[in-house]
Structure 1
Amino acid sequence: MTDTGGLLLVHAHPDDETLTTGGTIAHYRRRGVPVTVVTCTLGEEGEVIGERWSRLIAAEADQLGGYRIGELTAALAALDAGEPWFLGGPGRWRDSGMAGTPSAANPRAFVNSGDAAVDALVAVILELRPRVVVTYDPRGGYGHPDHIRAHEITTAAVAAAAEQGWDVPKFYWTVTDGDLLRQHTAALARRTVDELPGALPAGWRLPAEAELAAMSTSGVTTVVDVSDAVSAKRAAMRAHATQVTVAPSGREFALSNNIALPVLPEEHFTLVRGTRGQVGADGFEHDLFAGLD
């Protein structure tokens, strides 16, 4: 990692970078902005879509993490975001699994990473001197313990780096605009009712309101139009084939739960450190670097 002054994103597992910020990554790379994605675990506890790689899961061969390094490498290539960078090196911390599962008790689980994870991220920040840092909100987007832990360590590392020589100018949380999500989901529901060909792949279903409400959707300050980068985001999603399926239409995707979600033309953020730059008529920033020289 030699580029400085760019965008640093801290994510919990391979595929998180694409699902929540893939459009933003590709959008800024198209503008020549240095982008570094730091991933905190290998995603060893993930589920697997389909039969071909199903025995790689933690309960069987426990080889999924290594396989997902390849998926992440391909996804970042699709986004033009360079090579993967794992916090502390590949395999330093393990996917903690969902709350209350035995995997969280593993001493190597990311939720048990302590000050060492903060120190490792401080070192990255001091080396890169990013102008913008992005991670999850305090709920981790949807409550996964590793997402919450990524929020905790990034918040602590940004503060510590400021005391050690680099005060990150702007720090954001990645969130979702609930209104836009519901609009696109309603449009999908209408297409399904109208029985348009390919509206929803076999076995998929529409999300329930409670499932939409579980996602972080409040406090949006910044909206990035990623319509110019949606094709790259789709390619990156397809690279994470053990975790994500993109509908033939390219407008929706699903995880292993087969719940259809729209591929949005915007990505949303909450500014939590730094000064908001110029806003549009809608009251939102439209550039993560707004107000920076």
Structure 2
Amino acid sequence: MPEERLLLVHAHPDDETIGTGATMAKYVAEGRGVTLVTCTAGEMGEVLVPDLEHLAAHRDDRLGEHRRGELDAAMATLGVTDHRYLGGFGTYRDSGMQWHEDGYAIPADTIHDNAFWRADLTEAADHLVQIIREVRPQVLVTYDQFGNYGHPDHIQAHRVATYAAALAAVPSYRAASIEDGGLGEPWDIAKVYWTALSESRMREGLRRLRESGDKTAFEGMDPDGPLPMTTPDSDLSAVVDGNDHVERKLGAMRAHATQITTDGPFFALSNNVGSQVWGVEFFRIAKGERGPVGDDGLETDLFAGL
């Protein structure tokens, strides 16, 4: 087992790469342990490849299995060998979403019976408790209480990860061995972080996009207006510079071909701002003590101080 171990809890395939792909690739390259837990297979995602539109939920409903292959390819690109689905593949289904008129996500009008949004919190947390006690990570990464932009599965991932981290540390909580029906020896995660998108970086990126003449990428987002999906820089706690691994991240993004197209907004942003928009990733600390910081007042390593 590597001396330093990171556990990430994400909602759907592709979330891990967009928000934390550079960090994952960097830590793998440094010999640190990286474990990814994905809560659903992303069955309700929009299919951006015309030849694969038949996989969509309203047609053949086979997108989840296809995205499973995309996630495998993305993790191979990042070098991550330990990636799992919460409760096993297919246990929880993508809940879907719709957009509120104010620009954030809300639950869809119709939700599948085994949608992650409907999951029993203790049952779902127990699946993760077992993984936490097996992997014994010092650092956990997940979303904030709003799931960054309101998606019900992101919010649920936050709730499950937060509850599981608390339960995993309780000495008397199902501490018997797996063979005896328990969830393993207790483990207290030292540091918990929430993913974050720097407001200043996003504004800079949008300005460069608009100056280049691109008015369609991230349509409706004004570099000088409200940006609800971003985090004020004053709330940021850590930054991981993964620029040396940004090509791996971009390759992993390409692997999620049904969700991210090379002529879409993510790559438009990359083409105009350069690797800094995807090679540098930000976090907010939610548990634990901050370690040494750099000149900008941010930790440069999620394991800082441990």
User: Which TM-score band (shorter chain)?
Assistant: 0.7 to 0.9
Residue 177 in 1 paired to residue 206 in 2?
Answer: no
Query: Hey, what does 1:35 align to over in structure 2?
Result: 34
Rounded Cα–Cα distance in structure 2 between residues aligned with 1:203 and 1:178:
20
- Structure 1 residues 234-255: Cα deviation after superposition (integer angstroms, max 9, x where no partner): 000000000001349995369x
| 2:140/2:192 contact within 8 Å kept | yes
Matched, 1:221 2:220: no
Whole-angstrom CA distance in 1 between matches of 2:143 and 2:77: 23
- Structure-2 residue corresponding to 1:237: 253
- The separation in 2 between residues aligned to 1:286 and 1:263, in whole angstroms, is 16
Structure 1 residues 42-81: Cα deviation after superposition (integer angstroms, max 9, x where no partner): 0000000031100101100000000000000000011001
Instruction: Find the counterpart in structure 2 of residue 46 from structure 1.
Output: 45
Alpha-carbon contact 1:20-1:267 (below 8 Å) kept: yes
Q: Is the 8 A contact 2:239 2:282 kept in 1?
A: yes
Residue of structure 2 in register with 1:144 after alignment: 151
What are the residue-to-residue correspondences of 1:109-148 with 2, within 5 Å?
A: 109-114=115-120, 115-148=122-155
Question: Contact (CA 8 Å) 1:56, 1:63: kept in 2 or not?
Answer: yes
Measure, in 1, the Cα distance between the counterparts of 2:222 and 2:266.
Answer: 23
* Residue of structure 1 equivalent to 2:300: 286
Question: Does 2:173 correspond to 1:166?
Answer: no
SS at match of 1:231: helix
SS of 1:268's equivalent in the other structure is strand
Paired letter, 2:282: H
User: What's 2:273 paired with?
Assistant: none
Pair 1:286–1:207, CA change in 2 (3 A)? farther
Asked if 2 retains the 8 angstrom alpha-carbon contact of 1:26 and 1:233, the reply is yes
How many residues align? The count is 276
Correspondences of 1:178-193 after superposition (within 5 Å): 178-192=199-213
What SS is found at the alignment partner of 1:284? coil
Between 1:123-132 and 1:81-90, the stretch displaced more is 81-90
Instruction: Determine the C-alpha separation between the residues in 2 that align with 1:37 and 1:103.
Output: 29
Counterparts of 1:287 and 1:205 in 2: how far apart (Å)? 30
Superposed CA offset, 1:215-260 (max 9, x none):
1413211011111111000000000000001349995369xxxxxx
> Aligned with 1:159: secondary structure?
helix
From 221, 225, 228, give the equivalent of 1:208: 221
The residue aligned with 2:89 is: 90
Q: Summarize the Cα distance change of 1:144–1:205 in structure 2 as closer, same or farther, 3 Å threshold.
A: closer
Q: What secondary structure does 1:209 align onto?
A: coil
Contact 2:147 2:154 in 1 (8 A): yes
Q: What whole-Å deviation, never above 9, does each CA across 1:155-188 have from its counterpart, x for those lacking one?
A: 1011111114211011000011100111122122
SS of the equivalent of 1:72 reads helix
Q: What's the TM-score, normalizing by structure 2? A: 0.84
Amino acid at match of 1:277: G
After superposition, the Cα gap between the structure-2 partners of 1:205 and 1:87, relative to the gap in structure 1 and judged at 3 Å, is closer
Counterpart contact for 2:206–2:222, Cα < 8 Å: no
* Cα separation, 2, equivalents of 1:150 and 1:45: 16
Percent sequence identity is: 45
* Contact kept in structure 1, 2:206 and 2:269, CA below 8 Å: no
- Specify the alignment match of 1:197 in structure 2: none
Distance 1:113 1:228, change over 3 A: same
User: What is the aligned partner in structure 2 of residue 76 from structure 1?
Assistant: 75
Q: Which amino acid aligns with 1:33?
A: R
Give the aligned partner of residue 281 of structure 2.
267
Distance 1:4 1:280 in 2: 24
SS in 2 for 1:163: coil
Separation in 2, partners of 1:100, 1:161: 29
Gaps of 5+ in 1: 193-199, 255-261
CA contact (8 A) 1:38 1:86 kept: yes
**CA pair 50-253 structure 1, distance change in 2 beyond 3 A:** farther
RMSD: 2.4
Secondary structure in structure 2 of the residue aligned to 1:120 = helix
Distance (Å, rounded) in 2 between the aligned partners of 1:250 and 1:213: 16
User: AA paired with 1:110?
Assistant: F
